[in-house]
Structure 1
Amino acid sequence: MHRIQQLAQAGPYAVMLREKDLDLPSYERLAGEVKEICDRYGVLLILHQHGIVAEKLKLSHLHLSLPALRTYKAGERPLLVGASVHSVAEAEEAQALGAAYVVAGHIYATDCKPGIPPRGLSLLRQVCQAVALPVFAIGGITRENAREVLASGARGFCVMSEAMTCEEPAALVEAFAKAALP
C-alpha cells in the first residue's frame, strides 16, 4: 500500500488496479483500500475486470479485456468501460461494443510479456487513426519514449513496471507529465 500511496500522492491521472491472481473477496478488500488512498489524493481509480466491485465501490471506470467486453452487461450504475486491444480490428470492435477508450499494446518490449515481440509505434498510429476513441499506449513506456508515443496520436500512456520499481514515484510522475507537454 505504501507504493500506491506514493504514486497517488504524486498525482497521476489514474491508478488501475490489475491483480489477476486474487480471488474476488481479496480483490474487493484491496480495491477498497486503494480507493481510500486514491480518494484522498483525488486520483481516478480504475478497476480491472471486476465490474461488480466497481459498482459496489461506486467507481466510475472499469477496464476489461476484449473477451470480457464482449459479454459485459452494465449493472444499475453505468460505468465508463475501456478495453485492452492488440490490433486495429480489436480496437474497431471495442469501439462498436461501446468502449469509452482503448489501451493498445504492447508497444515496446517489456518484461511483462517475455518472448512476445512488441507491436510497435506503427500499430499505435494505426489504432489512433482507426477509432474515434481516446487511445492509451501500454508496454515498455518510459520517460525516454513517452513523447514519441504521444506524437503517434495516443491520448496518453500506461506505466506499470517503472511505477512499481522506481525509487522516487513523485519524480517519475513529474517526468512523465513533462514528457506530455508540447
Structure 2
Amino acid sequence: MDRVYYISQGKTPEEHLENIKNVCKGGCKWIQLRMKNVDTVVYLQTALRCREICDDYEVIMIVNDNVDVAKAAQADGIHLGLNDVSPEEARKVLGANFIIGGTANTFDDCKMHIDNGVDYIGLGPYRYTSTKENLSPVLGIEGYKEILSEVRNYKASVPVVAIGGIKEEDVGALLETKVSGVAVSGMLTATMDIEEKIKNINTLAVSR
C-alpha cells in the first residue's frame, strides 16, 4: 500500500469531496471517505461522487464503517472500527477482492485483526485528535515500538499504518518504528502545499 493515506475531512459532503480531489491532485494514492453522523443516502451519494474522483486520478478508495455504502459505491475497500461488523462478516458481503482494514489500539487488537484476515491495520492514535470521538489511549512513539515488536514476534506481515493526530514533524520518527505508512487528515486538508507534503513523506519513507 502507499505510504500516505488520507482520511477525509469536511463540514459538508461538498467539502469532503473538494478536499479529496485536492489530495488526489497532489499525488495521494490512497484515500478514506470518512463521514460521521450522516444518513446512508447522503453517505452513498457522496461515495458515488468520490468513486468518480478516485477513478479520474487512479486512487484507491476506502469507505469508513459502512459496508453497504462501500459495496454500492464500488469502493476498493472498507475500514472497520473495533465496534463495527467483524472483518469476516464484511468479507462475506464484499467478497475476496475487497480491501479490509481495521482499527487497533493494542497488540491484542492487532492480533485479532491478523487472525481475522484483514489486509491492513490502522494503529493509533499517535496523539490526541479532535476528529475522532471516544478516543482510545494515545500511543506515542514508544507505544508504536512496543506493539510493532509484538506484531513482528507474532510473525505477521500485515501492513500497519500509524493514525491519529499526526503532524508533518512526526512522520520521520513514526517511519523509524517501521510502520508501513501514515494516515493523515488535517495535515493535508485546506493547505496550499499538499503535493510537497506528500512528496516529503514518500521521500522519508524511501530513506528509512
TM-score exceeds 0.5: yes
- Which of 191, 195, 202 is residue 166 of structure 1 equivalent to? 191
Verify: 1:68 aligned to 2:84, yes or no: yes
Q: How many residues are matched?
A: 182
Of 155-164 and 126-135, more deviation after overlay is shown by 126-135
TM-score, with length taken from structure 2: 0.79
Larger RCO (CA within 8 A; separation ≥ 6): 2
Residues 20-169 of structure 1: pairs in structure 2 closer than 5 A: 20-70=36-86, 72-73=89-90, 74-75=92-93, 77-78=95-96, 79-112=98-131, 118-131=138-151, 132=156, 133-169=158-194
C-alpha RMSD of matched pairs (Å): 2.1
Displacement after TM superposition at 1:101 (Å): 1.0
Q: Which runs of 5+ in 2 are unaligned?
A: 1-16
Aligned with 2:169: secondary structure?
Answer: coil
Distance 2:201 2:187 in 1: 11
Distance 2:73 2:195 in 1: 27
- Contact in 1 for aligned 2:67/2:94 (Cα 8 Å): no
- Contact in 1 for aligned 2:64/2:80 (Cα 8 Å): yes
The corresponding residue for 1:180 is 205
Distance 1:21 1:159 in 2: 21
TM-score, with length taken from structure 1: 0.89
* Identical pairs, percent: 23
